[in-house]
Amino acid sequence: MLSRHHVSKLFQVVVRRASTAAATPNVLPDKTEPFYHRDLEIHAASPSQMKPKPDSLDGLKFGHTFSDHMFEVNWDAAKGWTRPIISPLHDFHIHPGAKVLHYAIELFEGMKAYRGVDNKIRLFRPDQNMARMRRTAARSSLPDFDANELTDIIADLVKLDKEWVPYSNTASLYLRPTMISTDPTLGVGDPSQAKLFVLTGPAGAYYPTGFKPISLLADPEYVRAFPGGVGSFKMGCNYAPTILIGKVATSLGCQQALWLYDKDEKLTEVGTMNIFVFWTNEQNELELVTPPLSDGLILPGVTRDSLIQIAKSWNEFKITERYPTMDEIKRATKEKRVHQVFGAGTACIVSPVGRILYKNTTTKQYEEILIPTMDSKIDVMQRLYDTINDIQYGRIEWPGWTKIVA
């Protein structure tokens, strides 16, 4: 059976590569010379290639609109990285045998650029995304790169398309760094060719008319991640299996799945977000709980980490990284000790949970659990949301968390 020790050991192997670039021989890709920001070539779009910006950010569907330019750089096991290039958004020519199309050798990141109240454009904790991207690359047998070099290139990409960064204190420019394996051979094995690219596109306000609490389907039948798997890496393979479950949730009147794990029905994640529970615990302490990173089940979200750090800085209540279980949530709800439950992620920052539709595996019945997130007298969720927004839009400063790019 998988102990935490084992899982964390594999993780450490991977982390070691990512943090020191000291490759473990025979297992991780050869140390590759990174690509450099100083080699960046920019082929700017001609006026005729440039697309009209959306008239309005309201109702802009997430991920449907892309800015004028993209970044890409290719890798080959024998030759290393090619010259990094920013050029107008274009289709890829991909061989139909490319490994990414068959074995899902692919990863991505999600991050944002914000136009601040001072009209300066900021990235939020890009070092965190770059570190996670390198860890995921190592786990995916995709090549390593230098985090600072890619960050500087992303900064140039955002600068070039700075008019695509919404003039708004609620909207932003979404950034999507991605890496895929492109070698055109069907063997299930080590990729020898890869492409790293970055897309950007405007994202409207997530809550144009205020917070909207969501309903979650909690059915232990559906499992997102497991010890010994890759749930803690941002690999494409973690997402495909969730699409059908999202549709099952919708068919039952819910917006997302609440992912449970194991016999004791641990709460692990919500849809594609981390989860936070703010309650009065059984020791009558005010406590903010979120699942731990130690088992490899949880994606180490940048928003998750930021909310923990912000809450800790207040020093007003207990903050614990552990799994709440369904039994605990049911009991605490009944005893009116649950104040707020919310998802946390880059897209929404926080997403209030109003209701859990729980499939009781003993009775085979659905149980409705109402969560008073929106009615809580202590509104930790709103306060966290406001603080992180203040940092992202430059109203307050948190040392080291923002990088001004234009």
Question: Does 22 interact with a copy of itself (rule: CB under 8 A)?
Answer: no
Q: Which is nearer to a copy of itself, 251 or 283 (CB)?
A: 251
C-alpha to C-alpha distance for 73 and 56, rounded to whole angstroms: 33
Beta carbon of residue 393, minimum distance to a copy of itself (angstroms, whole number)? 23
**Mind giving me the DSSP string for 148-175?**
HHHHHHHHHHHHHTGGGS-SSSS-EEEE
Choosing from 20, 48, 56, 251, the residue that interacts with a copy of itself (CB under 8 A) is 251
What would the two tokens of residue 285 be?
């302490």
Three-class SS of residue 397? coil
For residue 280, what are the CA distances in angstroms to 50, 88, 147, 338, 362? 54, 52, 40, 6, 27
Give the shortest CB-2-to-a copy of itself separation in angstroms.
6
Residues 56 to 85: which contact a copy of itself by CB under 8 A? 61-64, 66, 70, 72
Rg of the chain in Å (alpha carbons): 22
Nearer to a copy of itself, 263 or 377 (CB): 263
Q: In a 3-state reduction of DSSP, which class is residue 258?
A: strand
Q: How far apart are CA 44 and CA 81, in angstroms?
A: 22
Interaction between residue 240 and a copy of itself (CB under 8 A) = yes
Q: Which of the stretches 122-130, 156-164, 194-202, 283-291 binds a copy of itself when contact is defined by CB under 8 A?
A: 194-202
Indicate the helix (H) or strand (E) that contains 300: none
Q: Is residue 91 near a copy of itself by the rule CB under 8 A?
A: yes
Residue found by looking up tokens 């800790």 in the block: 312
Size of interface with a copy of itself, in residues (CB under 8 A)? 84
Supply the minimum distance, in Å, between the C-beta of residue 290 and a copy of itself. Answer: 21
Under DSSP, the state recorded for 331 is H
207 binding a copy of itself? (CB under 8 A): no
Dist. CA 129–CA 135, nearest whole Å: 10
Place of tokens 């090549």: 143
Contact with a copy of itself (CB under 8 A) among 96, 210, 399, 400: 96
By CB under 8 A, residue 247 contacts a copy of itself: yes
Question: Shortest Cβ distance from residue 102 to a copy of itself (Å)?
Answer: 5
The smaller minimum CB distance to a copy of itself, of residues 220 and 300, is found at 220
Site for a copy of itself in 296-335 (CB under 8 A): none
- Which spans in 162-257 are helix H? 242-251
C-alpha count within 13 angstroms, C-beta hemisphere, residue 17: 29
Whether 85 contacts 160, CB under 8 Å? no
Of residues 125, 199, 208, the one with CA closest to residue 168: 208
Q: Minimum distance from CB of 63 to a copy of itself (Å)?
A: 3
Residue 206 binds a copy of itself, judged by CB under 8 A: no
What minimum distance in Å lies between the beta carbon of 363 and a copy of itself?
Answer: 13
Report yes or no: 60 and 202 within 8 Å, Cβ to Cβ. yes
| Among residues 246, 291, 301, 343, the one that binds a copy of itself under rule CB under 8 A | 246
**C-alpha span between 292 and 297 (Å, rounded):** 9
Which of 150, 199 has the CB closer to a copy of itself? 199
Residues 349-388 that bind a copy of itself (CB under 8 A): 361
Shortest Cβ 55–a copy of itself spacing (Å): 19
Q: Is 294 in the site for a copy of itself (CB under 8 A)?
A: no
The minimum distance between CB 178 and a copy of itself, in angstroms, equals 6
- Quick one: DSSP state of residue 18? H
Report the nearest approach of a copy of itself to the CB of residue 219 (Å).
Answer: 8
As a residue count, the chain comes to: 406
**336 belongs to the binding site for a copy of itself (CB under 8 A):** no
Residue 192 CA to its chain's centroid (Å): 27
Contact residue for a copy of itself among 15, 248, 378, 406 (CB under 8 A): 248
Among 20, 25, 59, 377, interactor with a copy of itself by CB under 8 A: 25
Binding window for a copy of itself (CB under 8 A); candidates: 114-122, 154-162, 246-254, 276-284 = 246-254
17 makes contact with a copy of itself (CB under 8 A):
no
> Amino acid letter at 71?
F
DSSP classification of residue 30: P
2 binds a copy of itself (CB under 8 A): yes
Site string for a copy of itself, 132-171 (x = CB under 8 A): ------xxxx------------------------------
- Report which DSSP code applies to 396: S
